[in-house]
Amino acid sequence: MEKTFTDDFDLEVIANSGQCFRFNTADGINYTIISSEKMLHAASLGSGRFSFDCSKKDFDSFWSGYFDLETDYSAIRKLACNNDFLKKCADRSVGMRILKQDKWEMTVSFIISQRKSIPAIKTSIERLCRVCGREIGDGIYSFPTPREICRAPVDKLAECGLGYRLSYIREAADLFYAKKDEFERLSLLDDEELLSELKKMQGVGDKVASCIALFGFHRLNFFPKDVWINRALGEHFPLGFDHDAYNPYNGVMQQYIFYAYRNSKRS
């Protein structure tokens, strides 16, 4: 199916925003997107037009929510106009959306993300999927469930490049396999309570918990701070970032800063 977007939507910007690790391209036009056990091929056709290799029914029932299409991101982007640096970041990040990703996948992915580069994170995740997941395409595997990770031999998990994070992931898998409604319970908590509960997991501090909350629970006011964000804040917000000015969309502002600042430094 084909779809034309009038609101912000750019596959390249989303793919390089640091929020997703199974959103890949070889040419900057065609993308393979995997979420849990679902897979989508998408392509940019230019002029706001995109193609998706699924039916309209499948797009409307899952992928529309995944891309958060009910939210007006062009309106959110206008909030950045009161700060010159943030406006530049937002202008460079046109097309950004905060994906509604699987809570379990985000929990494991951001536990893995500690002290790893994005390419290394992706490599570990794909190894984990190959060891524990189920094949859903030609050499493409689903993200493993807590049960599948619990049942995997430790020596096989160790081959995934998880390092010290292996024990954290095993413990998380044990927790969410034993308490199958735990994510439903967490979803009912307010932001402060959610952050506190997530940090009870081994290996989950403020940054990882904030990432899980923003990208897994879609709590758009969370503002995770990694090395890129801290550098940008130090250079451009010496008096501190005014979170009150961007409430309840601080997480979207964080993505503008991350994408624009990281790519400007690497270009």
Q: 245-257, pLDDT tens digit by residue?
A: 999 999 999 999 9
Determine how many CB atoms are found less than 10 A away from the CB of residue 61. 11
- Total domains in the chain come to 2
Catalytic residue among 88, 199, 207, 225: 207
Mean pLDDT confidence for 7-28: 96
Q: Is there a single domain that holds both residue 135 and residue 56?
A: no
CA–CA gap between residue 59 and residue 63 (Å, rounded):
5
Contact 221, 192 (CB under 8 A): no
Instruction: Tell me if 38 is assigned to some domain.
Output: yes
pTM of the model: 0.96
Q: Is 207 a catalytic residue?
A: yes
Q: Last residue of a domain, which of 143, 166, 190? A: 190
Instruction: Tell me if 7 is assigned to some domain.
Output: yes
- The domain that contains 112 carries what CATH number? 1.10.340.30
Instruction: Tell me if 247 is assigned to some domain.
Output: no
Contact 38, 54 (CB under 8 A): no
Instruction: Tell me if 46 is assigned to some domain.
Output: yes
- The domain that contains 41 carries what CATH number? 3.30.310.260
Instruction: Tell me if 34 is assigned to some domain.
Output: yes
Q: 215-243, pLDDT tens digit by residue?
A: 999 999 999 999 999 999 999 999 999 99
Q: Is there a single domain that holds both residue 112 and residue 184?
A: yes
- State the pLDDT at residue 267: 47
Instruction: Tell me if 12 is assigned to some domain.
Output: yes
Query: Side-chain half-sphere of 157: how many Cα atoms within 13 Å?
Result: 19
**CB-based contacts of 78, cutoff 8 Å, min separation 6:** none
Q: Is there a single domain that holds both residue 115 and residue 52?
A: no
Q: Is there a single domain that holds both residue 111 and residue 178?
A: yes
Q: 76-128, pLDDT tens digit by residue?
A: 999 999 999 999 999 999 999 999 999 999 999 999 998 889 999 999 999 99
Q: Is there a single domain that holds both residue 62 and residue 6?
A: yes
Hey, which residues does 42 pair with through a beta bridge?
31, 52
- State the pLDDT at residue 264: 77
Instruction: Tell me if 15 is assigned to some domain.
Output: yes
Q: Is there a single domain that holds both residue 137 and residue 182?
A: yes
**CB-based contacts of 147, cutoff 8 Å, min separation 6:** 173, 177
Q: Is there a single domain that holds both residue 41 and residue 117?
A: no
Q: Is there a single domain that holds both residue 109 and residue 154?
A: yes
Q: Is there a single domain that holds both residue 128 and residue 58?
A: no
Q: Is there a single domain that holds both residue 48 and residue 114?
A: no
Q: Is there a single domain that holds both residue 60 and residue 113?
A: no
H or E element that contains 155: helix 154-158
In the chain, the amino acid numbered 68 is D
Q: Last residue of a domain, which of 190, 214, 248? A: 190
Q: Last residue of a domain, which of 67, 95, 112? A: 67
State the residue range of the domain holding 53.
2-67
Residue 266 has pLDDT above 70, yes or no: no
Q: Is there a single domain that holds both residue 172 and residue 110?
A: yes
Instruction: Tell me if 91 is assigned to some domain.
Output: no
